[in-house]
């Protein structure tokens, strides 16, 4: 399938250009960039096991999207 599709693909595309092309901020109503605290994910990235990173990650994300994450 990959061989069949290769003539129909263009890329790779830089992430910032992809986002601006397909998800332009100017089209999002009432957009405000989240204000993240410096080093707010340190506890998440320092975990040795993925499962240990869940709670620190959710705790860091909760202030920015409480409607997506149950407390």
In a domain, 58, yes or no: yes
In a domain, 14, yes or no: no
In a domain, 55, yes or no: yes
Residue 64 belongs to domain spanning: 35-71
Q: What is the pLDDT of residue 51?
A: 93
In a domain, 26, yes or no: no
Q: How many structural domains does the chain have?
A: 1
Q: What is the Rg, in whole angstroms, of the alpha carbon atoms belonging to the chain?
A: 18
Tens-digit pLDDT profile for residues 26-60? 887 887 777 778 888 899 999 999 999 999 998 88
Q: In angstroms, rounded to a whole number, what is the distance separating the alpha carbons of residues 33 and 26?
A: 12
Q: What is the pLDDT of residue 52?
A: 95
> In percent, how much of the chain has pLDDT > 90?
20
What single DSSP character describes residue 25?
Answer: G
In a domain, 47, yes or no: yes
In a domain, 7, yes or no: no
Tokens of 42: 């340190």
């Amino acid at each position: 399938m990959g061989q069949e599709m290769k003539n129909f693909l263009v890329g790779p595309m830089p992430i910032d250009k992809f986002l601006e092309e397909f998800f332009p901020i100017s089209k999002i109503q009432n957009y405000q960039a989240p204000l993240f605290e410096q080093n707010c994910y340190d506890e998440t990235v320092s975990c040795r096991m993925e499962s240990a990173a869940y709670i620190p990650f959710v705790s860091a994300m909760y202030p920015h999207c409480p409607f997506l994450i149950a407390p």
